């Protein structure tokens, strides 16, 4: 097993969990995990997202082999089409069938080369993406890397998608990333609503308690995300987060010492508090001396 994992999800409409159009799948033994976000304006996008998420984990495609990739897509497109009963569609749905469903996709593959003289080597991580689901690599409470997006404003753009029907004009081009992880690192895969909120927090300089997320129950995570929605801090959308803790039996890496800028800020704040305390003491002493002075005593007698 390459990692431990936690999965959190919440539909955009909590009264309609069947309307959840994100999808996820994890295989810790093979070291593969995926998250998808079905485009709600397309037909049966949740079903297509589910087919992609399960398909990419169970039968990981070779994105560097165009012929193999096209054959992989055809198998899963056929599976989506076969699951639809066209006779059950309303008249206004049938034209949409020609465009099919659309979904974004992000997955990671974790491997290791074992040990060297008894010392564990870093884990190798490859990630592939189409669209705006995001990966956050966290070590010691600090985000080392985000993929494929690095700025929150990018979430305002229409993302690239994979469609459930073949169209000659569509180009399925994956972005790729490769890095190394240490035991205790966290890899966090998010659909776009959670990813955009997280990116904004990082840009604002907020310190996110990643370890507490790992310890949360699913119910607590849903309650926390619901509170963000009520405060208009996160978009009302299907929300999914997958946390992968690298290394079997590991605990999340502890947060490191405060950053240099934080230390300087703390020192400056302490100096300001000390200066105010000193000023306050000086004023009190001055008022006591003034009240005891001959000048004030004689003035009060007049």
pLDDT tens digits, 215-225: 999 999 999 99
**Is a pLDDT exceeding 90 seen at residue 122?**
no
**Is a pLDDT exceeding 50 seen at residue 301?**
no
- Supply the pLDDT for residue 149: 97
- Supply the pLDDT for residue 286: 43
- Burial class of residue 228 in the structure, from the number of CB atoms within 10 Å of its CB (0-12 exposed, 13-18 middle, 19+ buried): middle
Any idea of the CA torsion for 69, 71, 77, 82, to the nearest 10 degrees?
-160
Alpha-helical runs (H) found in the chain = 45-58, 66-82, 94-97, 192-203, 210-215, 218-230, 260-292, 294-301
> Is the Cβ–Cβ distance between 109 and 63 less than 8 Å?
no
- Supply the pLDDT for residue 174: 94
Model confidence pLDDT, tens digit, residues 18-53: 999 999 999 999 999 999 999 988 889 999 999 999
- Supply the pLDDT for residue 114: 64
**Is a pLDDT exceeding 80 seen at residue 228?**
yes
- Supply the pLDDT for residue 115: 58
Model confidence pLDDT, tens digit, residues 51-110: 999 999 999 999 999 999 999 999 999 999 998 888 788 877 787 788 889 999 999 999
- Supply the pLDDT for residue 238: 97
Which one, of 226, 232, 122, 144, lies nearest residue 188 by Cα? 144
Model confidence pLDDT, tens digit, residues 143-169: 999 999 999 999 998 899 999 998 877
Cα separation, 178 vs 159, in Å, equals 22
Query: Phi-psi category of 141—alpha, beta or left, where left has phi over 0 and alpha has psi -120 to 50?
Result: left
Model confidence pLDDT, tens digit, residues 233-246: 999 999 999 999 99
Q: What are the CA-CA distances from residue 3 to residues 27, 153, 159, 178 (Å)?
A: 9, 32, 29, 17
Full 3-state SS string of 70-120: HHHHHHHHHHHHHCCCHHHCCCCCHHHHCCCCEEEEEEEEEECCCEECCEE
Buried b / exposed e along 123-161 (16+ C-beta atoms within 10 A): bebbbbbbbbbbbbbbbbbebeebbbbeebebbeeebbb
- Supply the pLDDT for residue 21: 96
Model confidence pLDDT, tens digit, residues 168-196: 777 788 999 999 999 999 999 999 999 99
3-class SS of residue 276: helix
- Supply the pLDDT for residue 289: 44
Cα separation, 61 vs 250, in Å, equals 29
Structure tokens, 45? 């996008």
List all residues 6 or more positions away from 57 whose beta carbon is below 8 Å from its beta carbon.
25, 26, 27, 30, 32, 33, 34, 107
């Amino acid at each position: 097993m390459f990692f431990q994992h936690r999965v959190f999800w919440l539909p955009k409409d909590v009264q309609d969990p069947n309307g959840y159009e994100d999808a996820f799948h994890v295989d810790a033994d093979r070291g593969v995990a995926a998250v998808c976000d079905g485009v709600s304006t397309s037909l049966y996008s949740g079903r297509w997202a589910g087919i992609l998420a399960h398909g990419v984990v169970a039968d990981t495609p070779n994105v560097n082999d165009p012929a193999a990739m096209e054959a992989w897509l055809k198998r899963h497109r056929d599976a989506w089409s076969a699951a639809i009963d066209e006779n059950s569609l309303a008249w206004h749905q049938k034209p949409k069938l020609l465009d099919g469903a659309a979904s974004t996709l992000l997955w990671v593959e974790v491997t290791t080369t074992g040990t060297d003289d008894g010392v564990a080597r870093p884990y190798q991580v490859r990630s592939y993406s189409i669209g705006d689901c995001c990966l956050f690599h966290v070590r010691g409470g600090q985000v080392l890397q985000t993929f494929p997006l690095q700025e929150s404003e990018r979430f305002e753009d229409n993302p690239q998608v994979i469609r459930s029907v073949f169209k000659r004009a569509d180009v399925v081009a994956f972005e790729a990333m490769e890095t190394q992880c240490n035991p205790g690192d966290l890899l966090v895969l998010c659909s776009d609503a959670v990813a955009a909120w997280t990116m904004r927090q990082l840009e604002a300089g907020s310190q996110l308690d990643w370890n507490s997320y790992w310890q949360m129950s699913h119910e607590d995570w849903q309650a926390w995300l619901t509170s963000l929605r009520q405060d208009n801090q996160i978009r009302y959308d299907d929300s999914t987060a997958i946390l992968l803790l690298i290394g079997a039996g590991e605990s999340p890496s502890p947060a490191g010492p405060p950053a240099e800028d934080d230390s300087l800020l703390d020192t400056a704040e302490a100096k300001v508090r000390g200066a105010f305390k000193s000023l306050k003491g000086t004023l009190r002493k001055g008022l006591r001396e003034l009240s005891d002075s001959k000048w004030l005593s004689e003035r009060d007698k007049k």
